[in-house]
Structure 1
Amino acid sequence: MTDYQPDETSPSSPQVIVVGRANIDITVRTPQRPQPGRTTFASAPATTTAGGKSLNQARAAAGAGARTTLVANAGTDEWGTFLQRALTDAGVDVSYFQLIPSAPTGVAIVEVTPDAENHIVLALSPATELTADQVRDALRRLHAPTVLTQLDLPPDAVHAVLQHHRAETLIGNLVPHPTLGSAVLAALDLFVCNEHEAAAILGRHHAEPTTAAQELHKLGPRAAVVTAGARGAAYSTAERTKLVPAPHVHATDTTGAGDHFLGTLTARLTQNTPLGQAIVDAVTVATAVIGGD
């Protein structure tokens, strides 16, 4: 990734295009997860915030200084309008963030336990899932050196991203849609996932994130990164495999940390930062999120 050189772009054109999903997060903090047939009382009032992997990543990339456009959909309800406003406030271009008439916006229920772990249930809104035509139209009209996409989108939408050859760097995230399989990783310049997602792809959990990163790299991407929570993040390229440790903090909530990591990493690569240093910067930002800074 150190040879990455973005094309010259006009001041108004995006540097990063994020393709994926946006939804509302309803977060509750609980002393423990509910047992079957029992009710657990939250330790604080529920909060409603803008969320979704790609929305979070787009906001993080914009916060790290990259001109960023999000390609995603939401409904024409109050929540869709809320998401659009949150993106605009964060400096993300919403020209291709569409509000679909009569469609509900997706919702994620996030339970945060005292150990700072999050347990998420996402209620997708099928009517707001990206279509291949929407993806092709956006990428045909936009030009950015970097495209970051969720690989668990509907297969036609993912194929539309992969067939887009104008980006210098194509980054994929999450476990690929089941009908795509791990073969899709070979089309990527960079693949990023967490330890649990790596285990789902590789069929087994590796105690060392560096081993998981190496195994993912063998599946074809030019580079693979595995985030490992408090341990930091491991990466593997043709030249090296390395663990970037995370500074120690008292974790309060891990929700969104991986998205801040990836958004920052994407911005840094677009800014010509070498991969190793970009990961150091991304780990620092993600650690601050975990610690509540």
Structure 2
Amino acid sequence: MNHQSPDPVRSPQLPDVAFVGRANIDITVRIPQRPVAGRTTFASSPATTTPGGKSLNQALAARRAGARTSLISNVGDNEWGAFLSRALTDAAIDVSFFQHVPSAPTGIAVIEVTPDGENYIVLAIPPETELTGEHVRSALQQLQVPIVVTQLDLQPEAVNAVFRHHRAETLIGNLVPHPTLGPTALAALDVFVSNEAEAAAILGRQHTDPALAAQELRKLGPRAVVVTAGARGAAYSDVDHTGLVPTHHVDVINTSGAGDTFLGTLAVRLAHKVPLPDAVAEGVAAATTFVTITGQQ
């Protein structure tokens, strides 16, 4: 069953961005320290249940940045799936291609947040709700969007469907590619965005300078690369520029979702034809503000 909401009114002033990837429920607990084997750690406050998932978070961030957004994703046809649909509809995100899979559970992420704002995440993904190539193909053939953002760790048939059927001016990829695809998948991208740990996983080594990591990743084929570096900001590299946009010190509450806020904002600014260095700077500013508020979408 595919639950749909009315298509939001398009405005010529607003760019369109489509996100291809996962949506799930985030169950977040704040803890004084991580538990050790055989011991119980009591949470510092009651657990919270919120909408989550990389692509859902990015779509919400892009909507906050002023874009009309569409989310191509699957959830279970259950109470939590309905909860996510309501959250997207309330945020005026197009859910025409947000499907509810009968008899399937909805994915869950358990997030532990320590006092320094760091987060530790365990994600349970139901195989039944993984995107298929047909779902992605059908959605992208119906969408006229200048920007498409896809998770590269989806099942290969879904990622390949994005590569073959997107009609966007700019294709942005995120996360370590599925093992079956490998680093060669980066060559299909206009922009690749990763954090430092993901960059190291692809390159096989850790760079102390994220700008060097961005330059090395660009040798794998994407026209531009952005590597986020947490409290140090974000590095970028394209044919014209390589640099680092620093961030300023803030009191961090929760870093969960900061990278998605960065990417959602970046996508919107690129849709506005903002140059890459300026778009990265706006993404860093949005993520910096985000971690000081609640760390929740």
TM-score by length of 1: 0.95
**Offset at 1:143?**
1.1
Shift of 1:11: 4.9
Is the CA contact (8 Å cut-off) linking 2:237 and 2:243 kept in structure 1?
yes
Amino acid at match of 1:220: G
Structure 2, unaligned runs of 5 or more:
1-9
Residues 41-96 of structure 1: per-residue CA shift (max 9 Å, x gap): 11111000000000000011111111110000101111101101111111210010
- The 3-state SS of whatever aligns with 1:213 is helix
Name the CA distance, whole Å, in 2 between partners of 1:144 and 1:13: 11
Identity of paired residues, percent? 66
* Alpha-carbon displacement from aligned partner over 1:203-249 (angstroms, at most 9, x marks no partner): 11111111111111111100000000010000011112100011210
Is 2:161 the partner of 1:160?
A: yes
How many aligned positions are there?
285
Q: Which residue of 2 aligns with 1:245?
A: 246
- Residue 4 of structure 1 is matched in structure 2 by none
Partners of 1:59 and 1:91 within 8 A in 2: no
- Which residue is equivalent to 1:195? 196
CA deviation map 1:241-286 (0-9, x unaligned): 1000112101110000000000000011111211111111110000
User: Paired residue for 1:134?
Assistant: 135
Q: Contact between 1:13 and 1:144, CA under 8 Å: does it hold in 2?
A: no
Q: Distance in 2 between matches of 1:106 and 1:14?
A: 29
- Deviation string for 1:95-137 (max 9, x for gaps)? 1001111111000000001111100000001111100000000
The one-letter amino acid of 1:106's match is G
Q: What is the CA–CA distance in structure 2 between the aligned matches of 1:144 and 1:242, rounded to whole Å?
A: 29
Query: Which residue is 1:274 aligned to?
Result: 275
One-letter amino acid of the counterpart of residue 272, structure 1: K
Please give the secondary structure, in 2, of the residue aligned with 1:171: strand
Q: Which residue in the other structure is 1:62 paired with?
A: 63
Asked whether the equivalents of residues 14 and 143 of structure 1 are also in contact (C-alpha less than 8 Å), the reply is no
TM-score with structure 2 setting the length: 0.93
Residue-by-residue CA offset, 1:177-205 (whole Å, 9 max, x unaligned)? 01100000010000001011111111111
Is the partner of 1:50 in helix, strand or coil? strand
Aligned to 1:234: 235
- The one-letter code matched in structure 2 to 1:35 is V
> Match of 1:3?
none
| SS of residue paired to 1:163 | helix
Name the structure 2 match of 1:283: 284
